Amino acid sequence: MKGSIILMISAAAAKLLGAVFKIPLTNILGGVGMSYFSCAYSLFMPVYSLTVTGLSSAVARMTAQSAALGMYANAAKVRRTALTIFSLAGLVGSLLIFLLAKPFSVYSIGSPEAWLAVAMIAPAVFFGCITAVERGYYEGMSNMYPTAFSQVAEGIVKAAAGLLLCGYVMNYPQVITGYFPYITDIRAIAAAAGIAGVTLSTAGAALFFGAVRLFTKTPESSESYVMSRKAIVRELMATALPVGVSALVTNLTALIDMWTVIGCISYFGSSMTAPEGVSEGELPYFIYGSFAGIALTVFNLVPSVTNMLGKGALTCITAAYENKDKKALEYGTLQALLTSAVIAVPAAVGMTVLAPELLSFLYPQQTDEAAFCVDSLRWLMVGMVCLCVSYPLFSMLQAVGKTSSPLKIMLLGTAVKLMGNLALIPFMGVDGAALSTSLCYAVILIVSLRTYIKATKLHIGAAQFGKVVYSGAMCGGAAYLVSSVLKKAEASQITVIAASAAVGGIVYLGLIVTLMGKISTKRSKSA
């Protein structure tokens, strides 16, 4: 739990820095400009996930196993081997994105001017692979501080460099356009400048770990057996590939949104009138850029924090499962899942109740985009809760040897997402994409939980989670009443948000402490 808390705090700080980056960036670029930025991300994230996400988990799992047995020399060899193999994989991934930048922009999304942003993000895959190995090694050694500090450093560089570069392009267009004569929209160049900040942040994280290695020593050990390089590669690939492909499938939902939202709205049209400064031809890109840049940005804030619970739980769940300690396994499982739910539920309820005020406050310069995303954000909130709880489950499935299960589950969820988008967008517009996202993650959570329970033969009671949902509902009711009174009194947006969140939070915390205390008392009496 200590490791999880460290990672959650760092993830929260990194997400706060991400919001400091993404929200002003959206205010600078607008809906159409964010479509260029989001198009680059939609290609980058699948390649990045394939090469990086599974790698970190695989290295962490192998390192944790070696450390549990005191085989520190073996853990060090795992680290060296992974750095060699996956640095090469990162180079291939970077080259792939760079080569695909123009054809992807022209033939996939019909926006040739997005190619510069796509090309600018390519080196991030290489640096991300190096960072993933180092993070996995330290997490496997139960040292979460390097991961935590690197996330914060990455967020600082991204916010500072991305906003400075993007702002410079928008302020001095006459200087910049001469270097890119084939790009006519300055927002495309500005989006690429913002993406350059992301690439620089991954380079900064890799340099951070280089500095950490200079000041840390590998624990000494004298074990007689060390795995061969071939065996290490085989085991790394056996774990990393299924997890990486699962993450790839997860990020395919972004590609699905890009293709189906732009394609369906271009074909079926939209009930929305194009705002001032946006032509009818640009409207599908405006809608997609607003949805991806605003609604999905807010949606992803909380899941990225609870994802750290999975990383923190992986080591202890692995140890408990290897040692056949069922009590420790059950305790670690409930701790991770309940903590995820306790964080996710009030956040989702608060965003649902306060969606108009929250988006208007965060995006004051993009009022059309913010107003357009209110209903979409509300449709996404059930999916956000499901995703928050699913992240730890995926890590725990890996810990108990079910490395291929997340891939199968995500494929099922992606199929639900694709069918939902195609069925709902023609009738609901982009709100249909939001609803299908919630359906996708609800299916993923149900199937993941069932698979984990079957694998571990644990009994996970629903009472605790019911208390969390009830507390969340009361929190939402209190926040709604306070916001209604303050809006009638014509209070400012910040007053409505702060007061409603404070009252709802107090109600939620009071109920959680009371109800969870009753559950603990009943457990101790029964024991």
| 216: DSSP letter | -
Confidence of residue 143 (pLDDT cuts 50, 70, 90): confident
Residue written as token pair 């809006």: 487
Query: Residue 461, by phi and psi: left (phi above 0), alpha (psi -120 to 50) or beta?
Result: beta
**CA pair distance 208, 205, nearest whole angstrom:** 5
Residue-wise pLDDT for 498-521, tens only, equals 999 999 999 999 998 888 765 444
Q: Is the pLDDT of residue 524 over 80?
A: no
Distance (Å, whole) CA 18 – CA 152? 10
Q: Give, to the nearest 10 degrees, the angle between helix 493-526 and helix 355-362.
A: 120
Taking only the tens place, the pLDDT of each residue in 204-243 is 989 988 888 887 776 666 666 788 888 888 888 877 776 6
SS3 per residue for 96-161: HHHHHHHHHHHHHCCCHHHHHHHHHCCHHHHHHHHHHHHHHHHHHCCCCHHHHHHHHHHHHHHHHH
Between 61 and 47, name the one with better pLDDT. 61
What distance separates the 2 farthest-apart alpha carbons in the chain?
Answer: 76
Q: Are 82 and 133 in contact (CB under 8 A)?
A: yes
Whole-angstrom CA distances from 126 to 85, 89, 95, 399 are 12, 8, 9, 26
- What is the chain's alpha carbon radius of gyration, rounded to the nearest angstrom? 23
pLDDT at 247: 65
pLDDT at position 439: 95
Q: Return the amino acid letter for 413.
A: G
Give the per-residue pLDDT at 14. Answer: 72
* Residue pair 131/209 in contact by the 8 Å Cβ criterion: yes
- Identify the pLDDT of residue 66: 83
Give residue 33's pLDDT: 81
SS3 annotation, 288-321: HHHHHHHHHHHHCHHHHHHHHHHHHHHHHHHHHH
Task: Count the Cβ atoms, other than its own, within 10 Å of residue 2.
Answer: 9
pLDDT per position as a tens digit, 244-255: 666 666 677 877
Residue 338 near residue 468 (C-beta atoms within 8 A): yes
CA distance 148 to 151: 5
The three-class DSSP label of residue 368 is: helix
**Under a CB-based contact definition with an 8 Å cutoff, are residues 219 and 69 in contact?**
no
Which of 40-54, 66-80, 432-446 bottoms out in mean pLDDT, i.e. has the lowest? 40-54
What is the number of residues in the chain? 527
Banded pLDDT at 317 (limits 50, 70, 90): confident
Q: Using alpha carbons only, what angle is made at residue 81 by residues 318 and 403, rounded to the nearest 5 degrees? A: 35
Going by pLDDT thresholds of 50, 70 and 90, the confidence category of residue 11 is: low
- Residues 249 and 410 sit within 8 Å (Cβ to Cβ): yes
* CA end-to-end distance (rounded Å), the chain: 23
Segment 96-104 shows an average pLDDT of 85
Q: What's the DSSP call for residue 271?
A: S
DSSP state of 272: S
Task: Give residue 27's pLDDT.
Answer: 82
Burial of residue 401, with CB atoms counted within 10 A of its CB: 0-12 exposed, 13-18 middle, 19 or more buried: middle
CB contact at 8 A, 434 and 414: no
Query: What's the burial of 473, exposed, middle or buried (CB within 10 Å: 0-12/13-18/19+)?
Result: middle
Cβ–Cβ < 8 Å for 47, 96: yes
- The pLDDT value recorded for residue 385 is 94
**Residue-wise pLDDT tens digits, 343-368:** 999 999 999 999 999 998 888 877 88
Other C-beta atoms lying within 10 Å of the C-beta of residue 231: 11
DSSP H stretches of helix in 184-228 = 186-215
Q: Which two tokens stand for residue 63?
A: 């390192």
pLDDT on residue 458: 83
